Amino acid sequence: MSYSDECGAECCGEIDFTKTPVAELYGSNSFSNAVMKQRLPKNIFKEILAVQAGEKELSLEVAEVVAASIRDWAVEKGATHYTHWFHPLTGLTAEKHDSFISPAGDGTVIMEFSGKELIKGEPDASSFPSGGLRATFEARGYTAWDVTSPAFLKQDRTGLTLCIPTAFISYYGQALDKKVPLLKSIDALNKQAIRVLRGIGNTTSKRVYTTVGPEQEYFLVDKKFYDQRPDLILTGRTVFGVLPAKGQEMEDHYFGALKERVADFMRELNYELWKVGIPAKTQHNEVAPNQFEIAPIYTNSTAAVDGNQLVMETIRSVARRHGMEGLLHEKPFAGVNGSGKHNNWSIATDDGINLFEPGENPESNARFLLFAAAVVEAVDRYALLIRSSTATAANDFRLGANEAPPAIISIFFGGPLTEILDNIAEGKSSGKSEADAKIKIGVTSLPSLPKDVSDRNRTSPFAFTGNKFEFRMVGSSQSIATPNTYLNAAVAQVLSEFADKLEKASDKNDAIQAIIKESYAKHRKVVFNGNGYSDEWVREAERRGLPNVRNTPDALSVIIRSETIALFEAHKIFTKEELESRYHIYLEKYSKQVNIEAGVTIDLARRYIFPAITSFAGSLASDAAALAAIGAANVPQAKRAKKIADLSAELYDETAKLETALAEAQGIDDPAAQAKAYFEKVRPGMDAVRSRADALERIVAKAAWPFPGYEELLFKL
How far, in Å, CA of 50 to CA of 356, rounded?
A: 26
pLDDT at 451: 47
* CA distance between the termini of the chain: 15
Please report, for residues 335, 387, 600, the alpha-carbon distance to residue 331 in angstroms, rounded to integers and kept in the order given. Answer: 9, 18, 16
Q: Which of the pair, 248 or 1, is modelled with greater confidence? A: 248
pLDDT at 106: 65
The SS3 assignment for 325 reads strand
How far, in Å, CA of 687 to CA of 379, rounded?
A: 34
Q: What is the pTM of this model?
A: 0.91
Helix spans in 276-414 (H) = 301-321, 366-381, 383-388
Most confident of 450-459, 505-514, 559-568: 559-568
The beta strand positions in 554-697, using DSSP E, are none
Q: Is the pLDDT of residue 438 over 70?
A: no
pLDDT at 112: 77
Element (H, E) at 689: helix 683-699
How far, in Å, CA of 696 to CA of 608, rounded?
A: 13
Name the pLDDT band for 3 (thresholds 50, 70, 90): very low
**pLDDT tens for residues 145-172?**
899 999 999 988 888 999 999 998 887 7
pLDDT at 558: 97
How far, in Å, CA of 369 to CA of 354, rounded?
A: 13
Most confident of 10-14, 215-219, 442-446: 215-219
Question: Up-side HSE of residue 532: CA atoms within 13 Å toward CB?
Answer: 30
pLDDT at 401: 74
Q: Which of the pair, 248 or 439, is modelled with greater confidence? A: 248
Backbone angles phi, psi at 292, to 5 degrees: -140, 170
293 forms beta bridges with: 217, 284
pLDDT at 426: 86
Q: Is the pLDDT of residue 446 over 80?
A: no
**pLDDT tens for residues 519-551?**
999 999 999 999 998 889 999 999 999 999 999
**pLDDT tens for residues 478-522?**
999 999 999 999 999 999 999 999 999 999 888 999 999 999 999
111 forms beta bridges with: 101
201 backbone φψ class: left, alpha, beta (φ>0; ψ -120 to 50): left
Average pLDDT, rounded, for the chain: 88
Mean predicted confidence (pLDDT) in 13-18: 60
Q: Is the pLDDT of residue 437 over 60?
A: no
pLDDT at 634: 59
Residue 520 near residue 413, CB atoms below 8 Å: no
Residue 440 DSSP class: -
Q: Is the pLDDT of residue 591 over 60?
A: yes
The full 3-state SS of 230-269, as one line of letters, equals HHHHHHCCCCCCCCCCCCCCCCCCCCCCCCHHHHHHHHHH
Q: Is the pLDDT of residue 265 over 70?
A: yes
CA dihedral 563→567→569→574, nearest 10 degrees, is: -100
Name the pLDDT band for 406 (thresholds 50, 70, 90): confident
**Cα 122-126-129 angle, rounded to 5 deg:** 110
The SS3 assignment for 518 reads helix
Mean predicted confidence (pLDDT) in 36-46: 95
Name the pLDDT band for 214 (thresholds 50, 70, 90): very high
pLDDT at 10: 39
Residue 95 near residue 183, CB atoms below 8 Å: no
**pLDDT tens for residues 271-321?**
999 999 999 999 988 889 999 999 999 899 999 999 999 999 999 999 999
Helix spans in 531-575 (H) = 535-544, 552-556, 562-570
Q: Is the pLDDT of residue 189 over 80?
A: yes
Which range has the worst mean pLDDT, 73-77, 314-318, 370-374, 417-421? 417-421
Report percent pLDDT > 90 for the chain. 66
How far, in Å, CA of 306 to CA of 270, rounded?
A: 16
CA dihedral 126→131→133→138, nearest 10 degrees, is: 20
The SS3 assignment for 166 reads strand
Mean predicted confidence (pLDDT) in 132-151: 76
Mean predicted confidence (pLDDT) in 19-36: 91
The SS3 assignment for 101 reads strand
Q: Is the pLDDT of residue 466 over 90?
A: no
How far, in Å, CA of 2 to CA of 120, rounded?
A: 34
How far, in Å, CA of 636 to CA of 324, rounded?
A: 40
How far, in Å, CA of 653 to CA of 648, rounded?
A: 9
Please provide the DSSP assignment of 452-516 as one string: PSS---TT-SEEE-SSSEEE---BTTS-SHHHHHHHHHHHHHHHHHHHHHHHH-SSHHHHHHHHH
pLDDT at 631: 57
How far, in Å, CA of 345 to CA of 70, rounded?
A: 31
How far, in Å, CA of 414 to CA of 421, rounded?
A: 11
How much is the CA Rg of the chain, to the nearest whole Å?
28
Residues 6 or more apart from 36 whose CB is under 8 A from it? 45, 48, 66, 69
Burial of 40 (0-12, 13-18, 19+ CB in 10 A): buried
Nearest to 336 by CA among 293, 291, 292: 291
The beta strand positions in 526-682, using DSSP E, are none
Mean predicted confidence (pLDDT) in 352-359: 92
Residue 328 near residue 232, CB atoms below 8 Å: no
Angle, helix 481-504 to helix 301-321, in steps of 10 degrees: 160
Nearest to 373 by CA among 326, 417, 313: 417
pLDDT at 116: 86
Q: Is the pLDDT of residue 131 over 80?
A: no
Element (H, E) at 190: helix 179-199
Q: Is the pLDDT of residue 434 over 60?
A: no
Residue 479 near residue 178, CB atoms below 8 Å: yes
